[in-house]
């Protein structure tokens, strides 16, 4: 027994000595380091069944969502324009091209039946719309409906076995949450960028009529319009729509239409072919401190500013005029919901069902007044 133990001890000692020598003279043998012929030493991960991922990698979220984000190519015919048909125009400029240069954008597949959400400005005035999937398949798309006032459009393609993105939820979203933006910037191909939620509920930017944007610092560039803003689970949070930029490139301020708005618009377009909103025919303006003081508008709270929206114009014979609303009135509530600003008033009135009477609370002559207005369907906006 003693001889066996002695032999074991000597073997362990020799092995430790060999390990020490190798670790000192050739440490690469122990760490998977490979020496190249050019004298450069490269550190390589050991060969395993699955590639290693850094802690905090967002590759799984990107892998889930990327197949459902498509590139959209549009083409607009010039033959409709009157000027190129003029003989003098042809004499000086030559015959025009049959088609204008292609436009680029992105879209998101939201149903196995081939429905795609994108921005209205991506496909507006297009005579042809081609959708290109990440697997290389292509298909012509037809327009189901558009909603210029939220800058959303719904397309449909006829292909089988389509990848579909999962719609996320807005309720748990908070400023500081990590997000990814996926799209086709500048036509270079599908690109993924990362960032955080910088703000929620951005309004009064002058981009759309109805605004409730998610703001992010994830890089969004031309061509990303209509692409996906996703969370770390690969779920759709918004449709990328605009950037703030003085140069045309990304400056860290991008805006996406929330998935809650996109879902509602999509359902309306599928059901009605258009989005039906309420309208009462007034011209609203924010209530300034001077106006609030002059009409003695009470503050919303003990120390908070006065709330409400000043009416500066009323359409003759419109729903508001028939209900007795006058310029100078301040709308305080629509039904039981307080009105804080112009954006809130537009959204609340738009949510009213045309033909159904609704109660409005006004501030007039230093007192509250209740009126009942019957909204009509919001007119189609004029082209901007």
Secondary structure letter of residue 148 according to DSSP: T
Which residues share a beta bridge with 257? 239
Per DSSP, 84 falls in state: G
User: How far is residue 331's CA from residue 325's CA, in Å, rounded to a whole number?
Assistant: 9
Q: Which of 71, 106, 115, 151 is the catalytic position?
A: 151
Q: DSSP letters of 161-173?
A: S---PEE--STT-
What are the Cα distances from residue 273, in Å, to 132, 202, 267, 278, 325?
24, 28, 9, 16, 32
Q: Are 366 and 295 in contact (CB under 8 A)?
A: yes
Tokens describing residue 183: 């799209």
- Can 217 be counted among the known catalytic residues? no
Strand partners, 70: 107
CA 286 from centre of chain: 27
Separation between Cα atoms, residue 378 and residue 264, nearest integer Å? 17
Q: How far apart are the first and last CA of the chain?
A: 97
> Given 71, 106, 115, 121, which residue is catalytic?
121
CA atoms within 13 A on the CB side of 118: 35
Residue 35 a catalytic site member: no
Q: Which is catalytic among the residues 71, 225, 347, 361?
A: 225
Q: CA torsion angle for 75, 210, 145, 160 (degrees, to 10)?
A: 80
- The question of whether 225 is a catalytic residue gets the answer yes
**For residues 25 and 8, what is the distance between their CA atoms, to the nearest angstrom?**
26
CA dihedral 163, 267, 277, 205 (to 10 degrees): -20
DSSP structure class, residue 265: H
Catalytic residue set: 121, 151, 225
């Amino acid at each position: 027994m003693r001889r066996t133990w002695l032999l074991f001890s000597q073997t362990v000692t020799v092995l430790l000595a060999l390990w020490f020598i190798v670790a000192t003279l050739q440490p690469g043998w122990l760490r998977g380091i490979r020496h190249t012929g050019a004298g450069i030493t490269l550190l390589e991960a050991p060969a395993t069944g699955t590639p290693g991922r850094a802690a905090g990698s967002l590759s799984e979220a990107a892998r889930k969502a990327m197949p459902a984000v498509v590139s959209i190519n549009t083409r607009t015919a010039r033959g409709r324009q009157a000027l190129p048909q003029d003989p003098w125009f042809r004499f000086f400029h030559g015959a025009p091209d049959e088609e204008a240069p292609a436009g680029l954008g992105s879209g998101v597949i939201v149903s196995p039946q081939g429905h795609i959400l994108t921005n209205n400005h991506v496909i507006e005035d297009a005579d042809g719309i081609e959708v290109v999937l990440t697997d290389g398949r292509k298909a012509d798309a037809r327009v189901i409906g558009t909603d210029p006032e939220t800058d959303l459009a719904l397309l449909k393609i006829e292909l089988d076995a389509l990848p579909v993105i999962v719609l996320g939820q807005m309720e748990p979203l908070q400023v500081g949450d990590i997000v990814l933006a996926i799209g086709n910037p500048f036509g270079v191909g599908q690109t993924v960028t990362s960032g955080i939620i910088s703000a929620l509920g951005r309004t009064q930017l002058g981009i759309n009529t109805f605004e409730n944007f998610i703001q992010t610092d994830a890089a969004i560039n031309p061509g990303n319009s209509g692409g996906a803003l996703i969370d770390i689970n690969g779920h759709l949070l918004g449709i990328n729509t605009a950037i703030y930029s003085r140069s045309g490139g990304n400056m860290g301020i991008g805006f996406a239409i929330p998935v809650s708005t996109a879902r509602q618009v999509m359902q309306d377009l599928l059901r009605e072919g258009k989005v039906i909103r309420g309208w009462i025919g007034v011209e609203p303006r924010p209530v300034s401190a001077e106006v609030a003081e002059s009409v003695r508008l009470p503050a919303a709270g003990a120390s908070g500013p006065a709330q409400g929206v000043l009416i500066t114009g009323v359409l003759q014979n419109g729903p508001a005029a028939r209900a007795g609303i006058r310029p100078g009135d301040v709308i305080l509530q629509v039904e039981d919901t307080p009105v804080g600003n112009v954006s809130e008033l537009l959204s609340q009135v738009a949510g009213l069902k045309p033909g159904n009477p609704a109660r409005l609370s006004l501030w007039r002559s230093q007192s509250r007044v209740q009126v009942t207005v019957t909204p009509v369907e919001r007119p189609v906006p004029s082209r901007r």
